[in-house]
Amino acid sequence: MIIRDTDEVRRSKRYLTVAEVADYLQLSMETVYMYARTGVIPATKIGKHWRFSLERIEEWMSRQEGESGVSGVAVLLVEPDLQISEAFKTWFAEAGCEVYAVASREQAFPLMAGRDFDLIMLDLMDPRLGGLDTLQQIRTTKPLAEIVVAASRFDADLMNRALDIGPLTVLRRPVAKEDVRRLAEAHRASAGHGGRTSDAAGRGSDRMQERDIHRRMETPIGPRDMAANRRENVQYTI
């Protein structure tokens, strides 16, 4: 009997299963499922089963390995409303950003575990997204990411507690295409965006020091006491 090693067997197949991709990429099967559902990794669903082209997986891996030289802004959009999500995805893409969109915090954190993001955008006031608990976990997981809070209304007490967690960029809804373009340009300018800095490599770097200098907002986002007490932690408003 001829015993073939795992790599040889894998390469003899045109399509891989979830388990085979998880083994190949050294990821959990749960993460592979999440990547497939959210479009992070190239995949095809046949009935109830996901299948992955080995050739496309290897192309995707090559892009990931070369991503440190990419000048685009990587955006994670956490938005339960499909219509709003599609609009933001289109606008960020047109602004030269690399956009990943998910509908819940449960989908967001596996993505954050597998890659770096420059901007992470969510509606802090939407109870479906977990509010301050989600914000705290994002800040702990991705300390270098710029967190963007977009909402049509802001609760003063909630925003005070949010700003205690760390700096925020605030977007008022309804948001227009031009607002997204300005947000992307402002991020590039403030971060000196010539390439992505990983969380591990970025700690203590000049970029981290620069991002600790928070620009004061020009327009309050809530009652005067909130603006007076927390303005130093609001990067800018649009």
Nearest in space to 23 (alpha carbons), one of 42, 40, 10, 38: 10
- For the chain, give percent helix, strand, coil, nearest 5: 50, 15, 30
Assess whether pLDDT exceeds 50 at residue 4.
no
Over residues 30-46, the mean pLDDT reads 84
pLDDT in tens, 189-223: 876 644 444 443 333 333 332 233 233 233 333 33
How many H-runs (helices) and E-runs (strands) does the chain carry?
12, 9
For residue 39, what pLDDT is reported? 76
Assess whether pLDDT exceeds 70 at residue 67.
no
* One-letter amino acid of 169: T
Residue 171 is given by DSSP the state E
- Domains of the chain by range and CATH? 6-63 (1.10.1660), 71-237 (3.40.50.2300)
Q: What percent of the chain has pLDDT over 90?
A: 21
Assess whether pLDDT exceeds 90 at residue 133.
yes
For residue 225, what pLDDT is reported? 36
* One-letter amino acid of 23: D
Task: Report the predicted TM-score, pTM, of the whole model to 2 decimal places.
Answer: 0.59
